[in-house]
Amino acid sequence: MSSFDEDGVGGTGSAYAQQRLVSESCMDLFLIEMVETICRTTAAETDADSDAMFYKLENMGYAVGQRMVERFTKDRPRFADTLDVVKFICKDLWSVMFKKQIDNLKTNHRGVYVLQDNSFRWFMRMSTDLGGADSAKKATPYMWFPCGMIRGALANLGVPSIVVAETSNLPQCTFQIKIAK
Q: Closest by alpha carbon to 57, among 32, 34, 41? A: 34
The structural domains of the chain, ordered by start, are 50-179 (3.30.1380.20)
pLDDT per position as a tens digit, 61-108: 999 999 999 999 989 999 999 999 999 999 999 998 888 999 999 999
Please determine, for residue 22, whether its predicted confidence score (pLDDT) is greater than 70: no
Query: What pLDDT does 47 receive?
Result: 62
pLDDT per position as a tens digit, 123-167: 877 766 776 777 788 888 889 999 999 999 999 999 999 999 999
